[in-house]
């Protein structure tokens, strides 16, 4: 999976939040049991950690937790898929309050890639608008994922099955609704799970 370990704490509240964060990671990556149940437990843990990790007091831990919470919602295939993706989008957007191109370019690009994935999977609402937002996210992420600077991520992003590169994977993209023509307009965009699970 693509969940990250980061938060460290010294005081009691931060230690508790870090323990919730770590437990959320373990549930999200648990290979046994029901994936839906594990992800719900993971979501509960990350949400509890966010009671103490705030954008103002612990910006990095907050962003890391929001990022992982977004991944859990994106991976949660049970329940209302559109609602889960909407929550994932909100989490990734919140993470981008702390992850900026200037301060955390790698995390910024990863989060944008995952935000783009969530928008591209969202089939409700304005499909063309969602795909347009996905393209914007992928294009911005490609500013940071280049063959020269992040070879692994760049290679992973442009391999067949992990991309929306009309010239490279024309056969792997299928139209499924209004607005999908945006995927075929010739723009080079990234559709990645930065580190596929």
What is the distance between the alpha carbons of residues 133 and 117, in angstroms, rounded to a whole number?
10
Tell me, yes or no, whether 116 lies in a domain: no
Tell me, yes or no, whether 124 lies in a domain: no
| Close Cβ partners of 135 (under 8 Å, ≥ 6 residues apart) | 116, 164, 182, 183, 187, 189
pLDDT along the chain (197 residues), means of 10: 56 92 96 95 98 94 97 95 97 97 93 95 93 94 79 55 36 35 35 35
Tell me, yes or no, whether 187 lies in a domain: no
Tell me, yes or no, whether 154 lies in a domain: no
189 pairs with which residues across the strands? 164
Cβ proximity of 112 and 96 under 8 Å: yes
Q: How many other CB atoms are found less than 10 A from the CB of residue 188? A: 15
Question: What pLDDT does residue 153 have?
Answer: 63
Phi first, then psi: what are they for 191, rounded to 5°? -125, 95
Tell me, yes or no, whether 23 lies in a domain: yes
Model pTM?
A: 0.75
Tell me, yes or no, whether 115 lies in a domain: no
Q: Please count the structural domains in the chain.
A: 1
Tokens 């304005």: give the residue: 126
Give the domain range for residue 19: 1-98
Question: What pLDDT does residue 4 have?
Answer: 63
Tell me, yes or no, whether 3 lies in a domain: yes
Tell me, yes or no, whether 137 lies in a domain: no
Three-state secondary-structure class, residue 94? helix
What is the distance between the alpha carbons of residues 44 and 180, in angstroms, rounded to a whole number?
34
Token representation of residue 113: 């890639």
């Amino acid at each position: 999976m693509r969940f990250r370990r980061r938060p460290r704490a010294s005081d009691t509240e931060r230690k508790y939040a870090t323990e919730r964060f770590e437990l959320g990671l373990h549930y999200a990556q648990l290979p046994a049991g029901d994936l839906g149940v594990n992800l719900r437990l993971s979501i509960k843990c990350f949400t509890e950690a966010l009671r103490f990790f705030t954008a103002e007091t612990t910006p990095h831990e907050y962003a890391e937790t929001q990022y992982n919470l977004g991944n859990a919602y994106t991976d949660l295939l049970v329940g209302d898929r559109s609602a889960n993706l909407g929550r994932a989008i909100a989490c990734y957007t919140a993470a981008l309050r702390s992850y900026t191109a200037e301060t955390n370019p790698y995390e910024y690009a990863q989060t944008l890639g995952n935000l783009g994935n969530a928008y591209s999977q969202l089939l409700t609402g304005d499909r063309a608008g969602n795909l347009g937002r996905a393209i914007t996210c992928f294009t911005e992420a490609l500013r940071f994922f280049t063959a020269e600077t992040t070879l692994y991520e760049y290679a992973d992003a442009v391999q067949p099955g992990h991309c929306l590169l009309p010239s490279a994977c024309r056969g792997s993209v299928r139209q499924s609704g209004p607005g999908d023509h945006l995927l075929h307009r010739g723009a080079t965009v990234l559709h990645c799970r930065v580190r596929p699970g």
